[in-house]
Amino acid sequence: MPGVILCRILKSARRREAWEVPEVASMDDCELCQDPLITEKGLDHPQKIAELDVSTAILNRDWQYYRGSALLVFQDHVTELHHLEPEMRHRFMEDACRLAAAVEKTFQPHKLNHAVLGNSVPHLHWHLIPRRQSDPHPTQAIWENDFPQLSLGDEELRALAEQIRTNL
């Protein structure tokens, strides 16, 4: 099933030792580069929000307790934002800002968290996490504590993706 690799990676992120970064020598070794959710064109996958200028926007299936939580995955295999040439970095940042504005408009969070880490998944990707004052730990990063898990079906994910897509 497309996207299963990404979900498994994100679930395992909490269990990794601090600073343990998987060795990824090339896109052939990169799970994001091989995930059909990212690599296949079109909007057939329920998590896919959009194919933007230099990245793919998807819903984070495992973090929908934070309704609208999304990932922006850079189109090519690169591990660090500063490794991009200035023009490409600017284009990626424009994609990030465009997605952030759409998530904010769609879900109207109290705060929208942005995170670019790569410790667990060494491929450039940007987390957008809508936060509310009613969150279990509103002043902490979501991965510092357990949070309720929601299991959304494909149709619910498609509806969320469409809501965000409408505001892009």
Task: Tell me how far apart the alpha carbons of residues 17 and 113 are, in angstroms, rounded to a whole number.
Answer: 23
pLDDT interval class at 15 (50, 70, 90)? very low
Which DSSP string do the residues of 87-116 spell out, in sequence order? HHHHHHHHHHHHHHHHHHHHH--SEEEEE-
pLDDT at residue 116, rounded to an integer: 95
Alpha-carbon distance 167 to 101, whole Å? 8
pLDDT at residue 24, rounded to an integer: 54
Q: What angle do CA 30, 35, 40 make, to 5 degrees?
A: 130
Instruction: Fill in the amino acid letter for 66.
Output: Y
Single pTM value for the model: 0.83
Q: In angstroms, rounded to a whole number, what is the distance separating the alpha carbons of residues 118 and 136? A: 25
Residue 62 has pLDDT above 50, yes or no: yes
* Strands 125-131 vs 70-74: parallel, antiparallel or unpaired: antiparallel
Is pLDDT at 51 greater than 80 in this prediction? yes
Q: For residue range 70-108, what is the model confidence (pLDDT) as tens digits?
A: 999 999 999 999 999 999 999 999 999 999 999 999 999
**pLDDT on residue 119:** 85
pLDDT tens column, 18-41: 445 455 556 778 889 999 999 999
Specify the DSSP class assigned to residue 55: E
Region of residue 152 (left: phi > 0; alpha: psi -120 to 50; beta: else): beta
User: Which of 84-92's residues contact partners 24+ apart within 8 Å by CB, and which partners?
Assistant: 84/124, 88/54, 91/53, 91/54, 92/54, 92/55, 92/124, 92/126
164 close to 49: Cβ distance less than 8 angstroms: yes
pLDDT digits (tens, 9 = 90+) for 100-148: 999 999 999 999 999 999 888 899 999 999 999 999 899 999 988 889 8
**C-alpha Rg value of the chain to the nearest Å:** 15
Which one of 3.20.19.10, 3.40.50.300, 3.40.50.670, 3.30.428.10 gives the CATH number of domain 4-166?
A: 3.30.428.10
Give 65's strand partners.
Answer: none
